[in-house]
């Protein structure tokens, strides 16, 4: 797996062996970032990747000049891989890695988010609604913030308030990507 664009383009990332993490495929990551570039300039953004895996999505964002990335994973071995990737990319000054379950992570989190990646293990898609609700209720989203959801099921029952709008909903093979934007109503 490589960084696909920006100042670190081509930089190789390592991933955790086994079935505990599921890295976003390069083709899907490229499609996600092609959509995102239509809705945001990465420069200065604060990124949260709550199910970090290898850290690929946050590191891709940093390569495109995001300001800071918070990368979390409940799996300690994944956190070690994430830290190795951060070290190899020399991004230690603009990243913070944590090792919590998603609820604990957000209960300790207080920064404003511009780009939120929610890519849980496919056995745990119910957490997505909890995360969106928690971020909304605790005012963690900046205006125009983008939330990127990756699952293996259609998110038909996802409840969004009137200011959270789905801007993209696509299927890539067996993977579904939904992108939501916080839009302030005039």
Calculate mean pLDDT across residues 167-171.
92
In a domain, 110, yes or no: yes
Residue 131 has what pLDDT?
95
Let me know if residue 1 belongs to a domain. Answer: no
Give the domain extent around 110. 26-182
CATH code for the domain in which residue 132 is found: 3.40.50.150
Is residue 135 within 8 A of residue 113, CB to CB? The reply is: yes
Q: Are 113 and 148 in contact (CB under 8 A)?
A: no
pTM of this structure? 0.92
Say if 21 falls within a structural domain: no
Residue 56 lies in a domain: yes
Range list of β-strands (E), 26-163: 46-49, 68-72, 95-98, 113-118, 141-151
> What percentage of residues in the chain have a pLDDT greater than 90?
75
Residue 127: C-alpha distances to residues 10, 49, 140 (Å): 32, 14, 17
Answer whether residue 131 is part of any domain. yes
Q: What is the pLDDT of residues 90-104, one digit of tens each?
A: 999 999 999 999 999
Length of the chain: 186
**Residue that has been written with the tokens 């928690």 in this structure:** 134
Tally of domains in the chain: 1
**In this predicted model, what pLDDT tens digit does every residue of 81-137 receive, in sequence order?**
999 999 999 999 999 999 999 999 999 999 999 999 999 876 566 789 999 999 999
Q: Are 160 and 132 in contact (CB under 8 A)?
A: yes
């Amino acid at each position: 797996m490589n960084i696909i664009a920006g100042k670190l383009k081509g930089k190789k990332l390592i991933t955790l062996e086994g079935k505990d993490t599921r890295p976003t495929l390069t083709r899907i990551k490229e499609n996600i970032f092609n959509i995102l570039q239509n809705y945001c300039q990465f420069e200065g953004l604060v990124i949260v990747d709550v199910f970090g895996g290898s850290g690929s999505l946050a590191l891709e964002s940093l390569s495109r000049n995001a300001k800071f990335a918070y990368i979390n994973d409940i799996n300690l071995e994944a956190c070690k891989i994430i830290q190795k990737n951060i070290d190899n990319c020399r991004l230690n000054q603009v990243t913070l890695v944590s090792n919590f379950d998603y609820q604990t992570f957000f209960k300790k989190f207080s920064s404003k988010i511009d780009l939120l990646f929610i890519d849980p293990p496919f056995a745990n898609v119910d957490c997505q609604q909890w995360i969106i609700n928690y971020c909304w209720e605790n005012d963690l989203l900046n205006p125009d913030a983008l939330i990127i959801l990756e699952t293996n099921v259609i998110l038909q029952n996802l409840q969004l308030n009137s200011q959270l709008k789905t801007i993209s909903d696509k299927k890539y093979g067996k993977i579904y990507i939904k992108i939501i934007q916080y839009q302030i109503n005039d």
